[in-house]
Amino acid sequence: MPTRMPPSNRIIRDQRNFRVLLQAMSRPGRLFRLEALQPFGAHAAALAVAQCLLDHEVGFSTVGRESTESFAAAVAAATGARKAGLPEADFVFVAGPDGHGAAGAARRGSIDYPDAGATLVYSLDAQAARDPGHFRIRLSGPGIPEEDGIAPAMREIPAAELQALQTANADYPLGIDALFVRPNGELMALPRSTRIRLR
Protein backbone atom coordinates (compact mmCIF):
# COMPACT_ATOMS: atom_id res chain seq x y z
CA MET A 1 0.00 0.00 0.00
CA PRO A 2 1.54 3.33 -1.00
CA THR A 3 1.84 5.96 1.66
CA ARG A 4 2.89 9.53 1.23
CA MET A 5 6.30 11.10 1.82
CA PRO A 6 6.47 14.17 4.05
CA PRO A 7 6.50 17.06 1.57
CA SER A 8 9.31 19.58 1.73
CA ASN A 9 8.66 23.25 2.37
CA ARG A 10 9.45 23.99 -1.27
CA ILE A 11 6.78 21.58 -2.53
CA ILE A 12 4.18 23.23 -0.34
CA ARG A 13 5.35 26.75 -1.24
CA ASP A 14 5.20 25.97 -4.97
CA GLN A 15 1.72 24.51 -4.59
CA ARG A 16 0.46 27.55 -2.66
CA ASN A 17 2.07 29.97 -5.10
CA PHE A 18 0.55 28.08 -8.03
CA ARG A 19 -2.92 28.40 -6.53
CA VAL A 20 -2.32 32.15 -6.11
CA LEU A 21 -1.13 32.36 -9.75
CA LEU A 22 -4.21 30.42 -10.88
CA GLN A 23 -6.56 32.67 -8.92
CA ALA A 24 -4.79 35.77 -10.28
CA MET A 25 -5.04 34.49 -13.86
CA SER A 26 -8.75 33.72 -13.28
CA ARG A 27 -9.42 37.21 -11.93
CA PRO A 28 -7.44 39.64 -14.10
CA GLY A 29 -6.60 43.09 -12.80
CA ARG A 30 -7.02 42.16 -9.11
CA LEU A 31 -4.33 41.99 -6.48
CA PHE A 32 -3.12 38.70 -4.96
CA ARG A 33 -0.09 37.86 -2.86
CA LEU A 34 2.62 35.27 -3.53
CA GLU A 35 4.98 33.87 -0.95
CA ALA A 36 8.20 35.57 -2.16
CA LEU A 37 11.75 34.25 -1.70
CA GLN A 38 13.16 36.76 0.76
CA PRO A 39 16.95 36.76 0.13
CA PHE A 40 16.49 37.89 -3.46
CA GLY A 41 15.44 41.50 -2.85
CA ALA A 42 13.84 43.21 -5.82
CA HIS A 43 13.44 39.95 -7.74
CA ALA A 44 12.08 37.87 -4.85
CA ALA A 45 8.58 37.54 -6.26
CA ALA A 46 9.73 36.91 -9.85
CA LEU A 47 11.98 34.15 -8.59
CA ALA A 48 9.09 32.61 -6.67
CA VAL A 49 7.12 32.48 -9.96
CA ALA A 50 10.15 30.92 -11.70
CA GLN A 51 10.55 28.25 -9.02
CA CYS A 52 6.87 27.43 -9.23
CA LEU A 53 6.63 27.08 -13.01
CA LEU A 54 10.04 26.69 -14.67
CA ASP A 55 12.18 23.61 -15.20
CA HIS A 56 14.40 22.07 -17.87
CA GLU A 57 11.47 21.76 -20.28
CA VAL A 58 11.12 25.51 -20.82
CA GLY A 59 13.28 28.37 -22.10
CA PHE A 60 13.36 31.82 -20.52
CA SER A 61 14.68 35.23 -21.43
CA THR A 62 15.40 38.37 -19.41
CA VAL A 63 14.84 41.94 -20.50
CA GLY A 64 15.79 45.22 -18.83
CA ARG A 65 18.50 46.50 -16.56
CA GLU A 66 22.01 45.08 -16.05
CA SER A 67 20.97 43.42 -12.78
CA THR A 68 18.91 40.90 -14.71
CA GLU A 69 22.11 39.00 -15.60
CA SER A 70 22.53 37.92 -12.00
CA PHE A 71 18.80 37.23 -11.88
CA ALA A 72 19.05 35.05 -15.00
CA ALA A 73 21.85 33.08 -13.35
CA ALA A 74 19.73 32.67 -10.21
CA VAL A 75 16.75 31.42 -12.26
CA ALA A 76 18.90 28.96 -14.22
CA ALA A 77 20.49 27.65 -11.01
CA ALA A 78 17.19 27.34 -9.13
CA THR A 79 15.10 25.77 -11.90
CA GLY A 80 17.36 24.17 -14.52
CA ALA A 81 15.56 26.12 -17.25
CA ARG A 82 17.62 27.09 -20.29
CA LYS A 83 18.25 30.62 -21.50
CA ALA A 84 16.62 31.40 -24.84
CA GLY A 85 16.30 34.30 -27.22
CA LEU A 86 13.31 36.59 -26.72
CA PRO A 87 11.29 35.25 -29.71
CA GLU A 88 11.76 31.60 -28.57
CA ALA A 89 11.31 32.01 -24.79
CA ASP A 90 8.33 30.47 -22.98
CA PHE A 91 8.83 32.88 -20.09
CA VAL A 92 10.19 36.42 -20.36
CA PHE A 93 11.28 38.20 -17.16
CA VAL A 94 11.10 41.95 -17.52
CA ALA A 95 12.78 44.32 -15.02
CA GLY A 96 10.72 47.39 -14.27
CA PRO A 97 7.32 48.49 -15.49
CA ASP A 98 8.71 49.47 -18.90
CA GLY A 99 8.86 46.40 -21.13
CA HIS A 100 11.62 47.63 -23.50
CA GLY A 101 9.60 46.24 -26.42
CA ALA A 102 9.34 42.73 -24.94
CA ALA A 103 5.57 42.61 -25.44
CA GLY A 104 6.01 43.18 -29.17
CA ALA A 105 8.84 40.70 -29.63
CA ALA A 106 7.69 37.77 -27.47
CA ARG A 107 6.19 34.62 -28.99
CA ARG A 108 2.44 34.82 -29.56
CA GLY A 109 1.76 31.17 -30.38
CA SER A 110 0.56 29.65 -33.63
CA ILE A 111 -2.95 29.71 -35.04
CA ASP A 112 -3.30 25.97 -34.34
CA TYR A 113 -1.71 26.18 -30.88
CA PRO A 114 -2.24 29.68 -29.46
CA ASP A 115 -1.24 28.33 -26.02
CA ALA A 116 2.38 28.38 -27.23
CA GLY A 117 2.37 32.15 -26.63
CA ALA A 118 4.86 33.40 -24.02
CA THR A 119 4.22 34.43 -20.42
CA LEU A 120 5.76 37.79 -19.45
CA VAL A 121 6.68 38.37 -15.80
CA TYR A 122 7.17 42.06 -15.00
CA SER A 123 9.11 42.87 -11.80
CA LEU A 124 7.90 46.23 -10.55
CA ASP A 125 9.90 48.55 -8.28
CA ALA A 126 8.93 48.88 -4.66
CA GLN A 127 8.61 52.67 -4.82
CA ALA A 128 7.29 53.15 -8.34
CA ALA A 129 5.13 56.22 -8.83
CA ARG A 130 1.57 55.91 -10.10
CA ASP A 131 1.32 56.31 -13.81
CA PRO A 132 -0.68 59.46 -14.58
CA GLY A 133 -2.58 57.60 -17.30
CA HIS A 134 -3.89 54.82 -15.03
CA PHE A 135 -7.32 56.39 -14.57
CA ARG A 136 -7.99 56.04 -18.30
CA ILE A 137 -7.65 52.25 -18.28
CA ARG A 138 -10.55 49.80 -18.10
CA LEU A 139 -10.21 46.02 -18.07
CA SER A 140 -13.05 43.67 -19.02
CA GLY A 141 -13.57 40.11 -20.18
CA PRO A 142 -13.53 36.61 -18.60
CA GLY A 143 -12.90 36.72 -14.84
CA ILE A 144 -14.23 40.27 -14.49
CA PRO A 145 -17.92 40.35 -13.44
CA GLU A 146 -18.34 44.13 -13.71
CA GLU A 147 -20.16 45.03 -16.93
CA ASP A 148 -18.31 48.32 -17.40
CA GLY A 149 -14.92 46.84 -16.50
CA ILE A 150 -12.47 47.60 -13.69
CA ALA A 151 -9.32 49.66 -13.27
CA PRO A 152 -6.15 47.57 -12.80
CA ALA A 153 -5.22 47.24 -9.11
CA MET A 154 -1.55 48.04 -9.84
CA ARG A 155 -1.45 51.67 -10.89
CA GLU A 156 2.24 52.07 -11.58
CA ILE A 157 2.09 50.19 -14.91
CA PRO A 158 2.57 52.77 -17.69
CA ALA A 159 -0.38 53.17 -20.04
CA ALA A 160 2.07 52.74 -22.94
CA GLU A 161 3.00 49.24 -21.69
CA LEU A 162 -0.65 48.23 -21.43
CA GLN A 163 -1.12 49.56 -24.93
CA ALA A 164 1.77 47.36 -26.09
CA LEU A 165 0.04 44.32 -24.49
CA GLN A 166 -3.22 45.29 -26.15
CA THR A 167 -1.46 45.42 -29.52
CA ALA A 168 0.27 42.06 -28.94
CA ASN A 169 -3.11 40.48 -28.10
CA ALA A 170 -5.08 42.11 -30.92
CA ASP A 171 -5.28 38.83 -32.87
CA TYR A 172 -6.86 36.82 -30.03
CA PRO A 173 -6.46 33.89 -29.35
CA LEU A 174 -2.87 34.57 -30.42
CA GLY A 175 -1.06 36.59 -27.79
CA ILE A 176 0.93 36.79 -24.58
CA ASP A 177 -0.08 36.56 -20.94
CA ALA A 178 1.37 39.03 -18.44
CA LEU A 179 2.06 38.72 -14.72
CA PHE A 180 3.07 41.80 -12.72
CA VAL A 181 4.84 41.22 -9.40
CA ARG A 182 6.04 43.57 -6.67
CA PRO A 183 9.03 42.68 -4.45
CA ASN A 184 6.68 42.01 -1.50
CA GLY A 185 4.96 39.25 -3.49
CA GLU A 186 1.91 41.19 -4.67
CA LEU A 187 0.72 39.89 -7.99
CA MET A 188 -1.64 40.94 -10.76
CA ALA A 189 -2.30 39.04 -13.99
CA LEU A 190 -3.45 40.23 -17.40
CA PRO A 191 -4.14 37.17 -19.55
CA ARG A 192 -4.65 37.70 -23.26
CA SER A 193 -8.43 37.24 -22.89
CA THR A 194 -8.65 40.52 -20.95
CA ARG A 195 -9.74 43.44 -23.06
CA ILE A 196 -7.74 46.58 -22.26
CA ARG A 197 -9.44 49.85 -23.14
CA LEU A 198 -7.82 53.24 -22.86
CA ARG A 199 -10.33 56.04 -22.61
Smaller CB distance to other proteins: residue 39 or 145?
A: 145
Smaller CB distance to other proteins: residue 63 or 176?
A: 176
The single-letter DSSP state of residue 117 is B
Smaller CB distance to other proteins: residue 65 or 130?
A: 130
Q: Kindly report the CA angle at 38 between 55 and 94, in degrees rounded to 5?
A: 55
Smaller CB distance to other proteins: residue 32 or 71?
A: 32
The single-letter DSSP state of residue 154 is -
Min. distance of Cβ 87 from other proteins in angstroms? 18
CB distance 163 to 176 below 8 Å: no
Min. distance of Cβ 89 from other proteins in angstroms? 13
Neighbouring-strand partners of residue 197? 138
- Give, rounded to a whole angstrom, the gap between the first and last alpha carbons of the chain: 61
Smaller CB distance to other proteins: residue 19 or 65?
A: 19
Min. distance of Cβ 40 from other proteins in angstroms? 20
| Site residues for other proteins per CB under 8 A | 1-7, 11-12, 14-16, 18-19, 21-23, 25-27, 30-33, 52-55, 57-58, 90, 111-115, 117, 119, 141-145, 153, 172-173, 177, 186, 191-193
With H, G, I as helix, E, B as strand and everything else as coil, classify residue 142.
coil
Min. distance of Cβ 115 from other proteins in angstroms? 4
Neighbouring-strand partners of residue 120? 92, 178
With H, G, I as helix, E, B as strand and everything else as coil, classify residue 196.
strand
